[in-house]
């Protein structure tokens, strides 16, 4: 689409034009088939081959009418990225011609080679068979580029023996687990209209844009997504003039095209703005079902990068591409809703709905406290390790923010009081059967909280910008499902539901209110207070990942049929290996740049200064200052070489370790320490060397030139 096209085309005409949505299926499918598909999506029926054949024919005809020649089962392996193998619709006939075919069997199941995807020991490398299975809950869509149009069918990915090899399978299982337990609670409360409970998510995606010209001159950005060297410029973000500031025209044009590309595939991108750091931005969609939101966010990341290139820019999704300025996160806004339109985390209009709100909110509080280590492990990556705990992101301590009024309500229930006086809400009667309407905005917002309540949802702010949101949401779902199961057990055995509700809230909150913290999560005081409360503070990713193979967590996932012990162990090893591989690449490019680029450049510059100083000695006093500068640079260059040698030794030692956890710990310790020492010397040299003598663009070019 040309610039003039996407500026002039009305949104109403383009929205969903490349998405095989429910609305489109309703138009193209017979009524009885559409009804069957909706029942399958709701989990009420299993998909039959007969229904799949009809859907496949309609999907094929629609895709071909839009110019598609190929289709792919689009899936999300444990790399955290997406994968696709393209097959054509073409089928040869006996007379030398072709017809366009796409069967129900091809829609339902594919068979990509699984041998090269990480499995964490679930299979031998020579066992290649893997299956993709159509995820009916997420709509198919079209990808269009210069090579043509491809029909993409969201799928799950499993091994020959049925092991989950992707992020979608456990996510869908966790959604079913939470649905089962939430319905039990609702039915015990007297709700008979709800047939299904959905988790919904709205992920806010942060990213950086840099000019492609400068990006191409930075091998570290190219290979790792972050700058392993870089001196902070005189101006960073301290003037606070970037956040919500006016958007540069070049970026605004990019954002407009990005929106149109996302709207075409039915992604409701709604909000966009400048973020805190220079050249940092955010885009946020409207809430959708978690499985759809996961797929949409993967497409958002991919589309950001694709569209940026069209405008001569490179998008950076790394959590910390630049030192000294804010990194990027992905705020995961999570909630629970019923199929009859009730948000279970929203205060209601009457005592019954408010009792429900308090009960489900209490379940989330308990889940966050009991399974804090699990939630922490869901965001344990090498990139996020640079961000968590800095004065820009939530700390590695998992806590819940409620705000004063709502905390006061829960505190009074736990303390056995009948009412609470609050400046913002007035007197609230706390007897469950007489609880009046609560205000919609029962709390302020707290940007320092890892898990903040924001009116009718919880915002999990620890998720990294480059991560798939599938894993964090899977873990949240399972944790909450377990607590709801225990609540349901108590409610179903109780003869007095109102009394039981009050007792459950009181008992649960009394035990777990230690996790509620409404203050500044960035402060040193909170770290000390959290330790006093007994809240864990796991700073390193490898230590955090150990949670995945703990007995309690394995039993939790097995009890809810989300992941088996073998599947949990495989993820533990895959994530450890990914951590080590990423740091191995970063250390490798750091050594290469130090040796092949920085050291020759600064040595030559120092020699040039020394030579100029000798020439000036007879005519100018400036020669002494220049000679001193040359010696300082030469000395620092020698120190850089010495630290580089130490990094090489540390890296060689880490590479020799076979045990995945021990290797990750080595990278986290000695290798990262050695990398920091090399960077310190290189960044000090950048301050002393002339701009035209430095071997690659600096932060000023990367952060302020667009």
Q: Render pLDDT for 216-239 as a digit per residue (tens, 0 to 9).
A: 999 999 999 999 999 887 666 655
Question: Distances in Å between the alpha carbon of 601 and those of 612, 634, 642, 682?
Answer: 16, 11, 17, 11
Nearest Cα residue to 288 out of 175, 417, 177: 175
Same structural domain, 119 and 147 = yes
Q: Are 319 and 383 in contact (CB under 8 A)?
A: yes
What's the confidence (pLDDT) of residue 699?
Answer: 94
The lowest-confidence range among 140-154, 208-222, 344-358 is 344-358
Q: Are 653 and 565 in contact (CB under 8 A)?
A: no
Count of beta carbons in the 10 Å neighbourhood of residue 15: 18
CA–CA gap between residue 133 and residue 156 (Å, rounded) = 5
CA–CA gap between residue 182 and residue 639 (Å, rounded) = 61
Same structural domain, 543 and 506 = yes
Give the Cα-Cα-Cα angle 350, 354, 357 (nearest 5 degrees).
150
CA–CA gap between residue 331 and residue 135 (Å, rounded) = 25
Average pLDDT over residues 575-596: 97
Q: Are 184 and 195 in contact (CB under 8 A)?
A: no
Task: Supply the CATH number for residue 668's domain.
Answer: 1.20.120.1560
Same structural domain, 552 and 617 = no
What's the confidence (pLDDT) of residue 240?
Answer: 61
The lowest-confidence range among 115-129, 423-437, 582-596 is 423-437
Same structural domain, 149 and 270 = no
Helices vs strands, H then E, count in the chain = 26, 20
CA–CA gap between residue 93 and residue 77 (Å, rounded) = 35
Mean pLDDT estimate for the chain: 88
Same structural domain, 224 and 142 = no
Q: Are 462 and 388 in contact (CB under 8 A)?
A: yes
Task: Supply the CATH number for residue 384's domain.
Answer: 3.30.590.10
Residues 268-302: pLDDT tens digits? Answer: 887 787 887 899 999 988 888 999 999 999 999 99
Query: How many domains does the structure of the chain reveal?
Result: 3
Same structural domain, 215 and 132 = no
Q: Which domain holds residue 614?
A: 577-704
Average pLDDT over residues 315-321: 96
607 in any annotated domain:
yes
569 in any annotated domain:
no
Secondary structure (3-state) at 652: helix
Between 616 and 583, whose confidence is greater?
583
Indicate if the pLDDT at residue 389 is higher than 70. Answer: no
CA–CA gap between residue 428 and residue 411 (Å, rounded) = 13
Domain boundary among 517, 541, 563: 563
Q: Are 109 and 115 in contact (CB under 8 A)?
A: no
Burial of 163 (0-12, 13-18, 19+ CB in 10 A): buried
572 in any annotated domain:
no
Q: Are 149 and 23 in contact (CB under 8 A)?
A: no
What's the confidence (pLDDT) of residue 83?
Answer: 85
Nearest Cα residue to 197 out of 418, 472, 484: 484
Same structural domain, 256 and 399 = yes
Nearest Cα residue to 561 out of 241, 172, 271: 172
Nearest Cα residue to 706 out of 26, 94, 208: 208
Which residue's structure tokens are 């992604």?
267
The lowest-confidence range among 423-427, 578-582, 648-652 is 423-427
Question: Distances in Å between the alpha carbon of 295 and those of 85, 291, 686?
Answer: 17, 7, 42
245: DSSP letter: -
Nearest Cα residue to 461 out of 545, 526, 376, 370: 376
Domain boundary among 509, 539, 563: 563
98 in any annotated domain:
yes
Same structural domain, 263 and 114 = no
Q: Are 445 and 452 in contact (CB under 8 A)?
A: yes
What's the confidence (pLDDT) of residue 263?
Answer: 93
Give the Cα-Cα-Cα angle 604, 605, 609 (nearest 5 degrees).
120
568 in any annotated domain:
no
What's the confidence (pLDDT) of residue 254?
Answer: 93
Secondary structure (3-state) at 188: helix
Average pLDDT over residues 599-622: 73
Domain boundary among 528, 563, 598: 563
Between 612 and 359, whose confidence is greater?
359
Same structural domain, 484 and 373 = yes
570 in any annotated domain:
no
571 in any annotated domain:
no
Nearest Cα residue to 432 out of 506, 512, 483: 506
495 in any annotated domain:
yes
Determine phi and psi for 450, rounding to 5 degrees: -70, -30
The lowest-confidence range among 79-83, 487-491, 590-594 is 79-83
Same structural domain, 420 and 486 = yes
Average pLDDT over residues 495-517: 92
Same structural domain, 234 and 306 = yes
Same structural domain, 554 and 583 = no
Does the pTM of the predicted model rise above 0.75?
A: yes
Average pLDDT over residues 169-173: 96
């Amino acid at each position: 689409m040309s610039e003039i096209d996407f500026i002039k085309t009305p949104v109403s005409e383009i929205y969903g034009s490349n998405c095989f949505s429910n609305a489109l299926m309703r138009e193209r499918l017979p009524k009885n088939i559409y009804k069957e598909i909706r029942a399958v999506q709701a989990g009420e029926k299993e998909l039959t081959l007969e229904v799949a054949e009809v859907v496949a024919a309609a999907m094929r005809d629609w895709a071909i009418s839009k110019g598609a020649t190929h289709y792919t089962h689009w899936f999300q392996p444990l790399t955290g990225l997406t994968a696709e193998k393209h097959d054509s619709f073409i089928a040869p006939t006996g007379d030398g011609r072709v017809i366009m075919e796409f069967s129900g069997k091809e829609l339902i199941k594919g068979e990509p080679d699984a041998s090269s995807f990480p499995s964490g020991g679930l299979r031998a490398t020579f066992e290649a068979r893997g299956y993709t299975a159509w995820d009916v809950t997420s709509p198919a869509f079209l990808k269009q580029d210069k090579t043509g149009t491809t029909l993409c069918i969201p799928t799950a990915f499993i091994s020959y023996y049925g092991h989950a090899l992707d992020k979608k399978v456990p996510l869908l299982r966790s959604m079913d687990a939470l649905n089962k337990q939430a319905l039990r609670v609702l039915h015990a409360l007297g709700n008979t209209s709800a047939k299904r409970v959905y988790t919904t998510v709205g992920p806010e995606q942060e990213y950086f844009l840099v000019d492609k010209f400068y990006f191409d001159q930075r091998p570290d950005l190219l290979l790792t997504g972050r700058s392993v060297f870089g001196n902070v410029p005189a101006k960073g973000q301290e003037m606070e003039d970037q956040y919500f500031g006016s958007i540069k025209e070049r970026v605004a044009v990019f954002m407009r095209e990005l929106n149109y590309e996302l709207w075409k595939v039915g992604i409701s991108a709604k909000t966009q703005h400048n973020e805190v750091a220079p050249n940092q931005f955010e885009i946020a969609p409207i809430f959708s079902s978690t499985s759809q939101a996961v797929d949409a966010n993967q497409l958002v990341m991919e589309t950001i990068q694709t569209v940026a290139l069209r405008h001569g820019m490179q998008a950076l999704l790394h959590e910390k591409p630049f030192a000294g300025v804010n990194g990027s996160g992905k705020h995961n806004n999570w909630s629970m809703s019923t199929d009859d339109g009730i948000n279970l985390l929203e205060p209601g209009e009457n005592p019954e709905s408010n009792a429900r709100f308090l009960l489900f909110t209490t379940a989330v509080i308990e889940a966050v406290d009991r399974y804090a280590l699990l939630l922490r492990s869901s965001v344990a990556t090498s990139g996020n390790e640079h961000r968590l705990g800095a004065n820009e992101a939530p700390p590695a301590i998992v806590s819940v923010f409620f705000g004063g009024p709502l905390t006061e309500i829960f505190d009074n229930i736990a303390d056995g009081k009948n009412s609470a006086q609050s400046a913002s809400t007035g007197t609230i009667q706390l007897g469950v059967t007489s609880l009046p309407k609560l205000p919609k905005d029962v709390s302020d917002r707290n940007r320092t909280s890892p898990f903040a309540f924001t009116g009718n949802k919880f915002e999990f702010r620890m998720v990294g910008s480059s991560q798939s949101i599938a894993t964090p949401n899977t873990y949240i779902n399972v944790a909450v499902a377990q607590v709801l199961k225990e609540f349901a057990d108590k409610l179903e055995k109780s003869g007095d539901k109102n009394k039981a509700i009050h007792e459950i809230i009181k008992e649960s909150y009394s035990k777990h209110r230690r996790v509620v913290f409404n203050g500044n999560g960035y402060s040193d005081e909170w770290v000390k207070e959290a330790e006093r409360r007994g809240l864990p503070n796991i700073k390193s990713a490898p230590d955090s990942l150990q949670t995945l193979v703990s007995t309690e967590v394995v039993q939790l996932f097995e009890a809810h049929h989300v992941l088996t012990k073998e599947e949990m162990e495989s993820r533990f090893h895959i994530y450890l290996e990914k951590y080590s591989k990423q740091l191995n690449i970063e250390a490798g490019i750091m050594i290469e740049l130090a040796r092949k680029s920085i050291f020759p450049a600064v040595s030559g510059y120092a020699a040039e200064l020394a030579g100029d100083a000798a020439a000036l000695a007879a005519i100018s006093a400036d020669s002494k200052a220049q000679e001193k500068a040359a010696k300082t640079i030469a000395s620092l260059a020698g120190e850089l070489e010495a630290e580089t040698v130490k990094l090489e030794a540390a890296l060689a030692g880490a590479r020799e370790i076979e045990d995945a956890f021990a290797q990750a710990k080595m990278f986290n310790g000695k290798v990262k320490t050695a990398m920091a020492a090399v960077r310190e010397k290189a960044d000090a040299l950048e301050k002393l060397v002339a701009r035209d003598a430095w071997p690659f663009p600096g932060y000023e070019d990367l952060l302020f030139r667009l």
